[in-house]
Amino acid sequence: MTRETCINAALLLGLLAVPLWAWATDEAFTITLATRVAILALAGVGLNIALGLGGLVSLGHAAFFGVGGYAMGILASHAQSYTPLAEWPLVIEGSTSMPVIWLVAMLFSALAALAVGALSLRTSGVYFIMITLAFGQMFYFFAISWPAYGGEDGLSIYVRNGFPGLNTLDPIQFFGICFALLALALWLNARLARSPFGLALGAARQTPARVETVGLSPFRLRLTAFVISGAITGLAGALFADLNRFVSPTMFSWQTSGEIMVFVILGGVGRLYGPVAGAALFITLEHVLGGLSEFWHVYLGLLLLLVVLFARGGLIGLIAGRQVAHD
């Protein structure tokens, strides 16, 4: 077992132990914090597939996070008001069932990622960063100016959506759902990295010319990775909306994109558990520094600057040392 595997196991167990301990001592707020960590880590895992495996620096992942959130908001608000979503050509009813919402959220964020990716992957490097950022902003302005679902004010959902056999209003049970999905996504990410697709994608990041020479298309590999990445971030968006029982255009804002990227970087780019470490650190900082000073973002900025300039492997890189030879 390498040192990184030990850290990964400790992270996952820690994320499980903290809310269980909080549940035993009846600290509902800590459970909510842990749920936020799990959900934001899930969004980071999504981005890490594009960023870590594919080398695609996307600053527009808030678009998929928001699409996931709005999928939940729109379905649940229609179910809440007993009005069908569409009556023609076929009647589509709203839904308050989590599995249905998750599928819809993933489907639509994958479609959004397909459209954004197909356009922005025509370019690379700094163009790609600017274009993904711009498309993210497009979704933001659309959500603000589209009045049907709350516009600037967003949508409130009064009751958390249900999951068969569980009481989702109980914080620890909702945490369990989020944690299970995070674990599933991490497992998927690990499988993906070792699969022929993941290896080809890694090769396309390192030497695209050679990948082309053996008959693979780097564009299609990257687009596939981008779509998978968008779908996972969309799922996280649906869960995040369910946690807050509220969706607003803020989910689409460029700050959200930046923060998702910060989770990945604070933890360590391309590290499987980087987003988990990053999200945990981010929420802890927000909670601790936010309690000390209203202006805690200054300290976050300084910390991020230090990590980028001096500790390039992020938190996991700092503890586990340099990445082993396979990269």
Partner 1 sequence: MTLILFIEQLLNGLQFGVMLFLMAAGLTLVFGVMGLINLAHGSLYMVGAFAAAAVAGWSGSFLLALIAALVAAAAAGALVELLVIRRLYDRDHLDQVLATFALILIFSEGTRYLFGSFPLYLNIPDALSGPVMLPGGIAYPAYRLALIVIGLAIAAGLFWLINHTRLGIRIRAGEADREMIAALGVDISKLYTIVFALGAALAGLAGALVGAIQAVQVGMGEPVLILAFVVIVIGGIGSIKGALIGALMVGLTDTMGGLLLPALFGLFMDNSAAQATGSAIASMLIYILMALVLIWRPQGLFGVRA
Q: Please report, as ranges, the residues that interact with partner 1 according to CB under 8 A.
A: 51, 57, 59, 119-120, 122-127, 129-131, 133-135, 137-138, 141-142, 144-148, 254, 258, 261-262, 265, 269, 295-298, 300-302, 304-305, 307-309, 312
CB of 124 to partner 1, least distance (A): 8
User: Quick one: which of 38, 55, 45 has its CA closest to 275?
Assistant: 45
Which residues are registered as beta bridge partners of 163?
Answer: 166
Query: Least distance (Å) from partner 1 to the CB of residue 266?
Result: 9
Q: Measured from the CB atom, is 181 or 307 closer to partner 1?
A: 307
Closest contact distance (angstroms) between CB of 236 and partner 1 is 20
Question: Cβ of residue 127: shortest distance to partner 1, in angstroms?
Answer: 6
Instruction: Please name the residues in contact with 289: beta carbons below 8 A apart, sequence gap of 6 or more.
Output: 296, 299, 300
Identity of the residue, 54 or 171, whose beta carbon is nearer to partner 1 in the bound complex: 54
Helical (H) or strand (E) element with 155: strand 155-156
C-beta of 163: minimal distance to partner 1 in Å?
A: 33
Cα 155 to its chain centre, rounded Å, is 21
Measured CA to CA, the distance from residue 45 to residue 301 in angstroms comes to 22
Q: Which is nearer to partner 1, 16 or 129 (CB)?
A: 129
Beta bridge partners of 246: 156
Angle at CA of residue 227, ends 127 and 257, nearest 5°: 55
Indicate the residue among 26 and 294 with the shorter CB distance to partner 1. 294
Q: Whose Cβ is closer to partner 1: residue 301's or residue 321's?
A: 301
From the CB of residue 56, how many other CB atoms can be counted at a distance below 10 Å? 24
Q: Which is nearer to partner 1, 147 or 164 (CB)?
A: 147
Contacts of 210 (CB under 8 A, 6+ apart): 203
- The Cα–Cα gap between 29 and 120 comes to 40
| C-alpha torsion sign, points 37, 69, 181, 199 | negative
Asked if residues 181 and 235 have their Cβ atoms less than 8 Å apart, the reply is yes
* Least gap, CB of 194 to partner 1 (angstroms): 23
From the CB of 184, what's the least distance to partner 1, in Å? Answer: 27
Quick one: 59 or 228, whose CB is closer to partner 1?
59
**CA 172 → CA 24, 27, 127, 294, distances in Å?**
10, 10, 43, 29
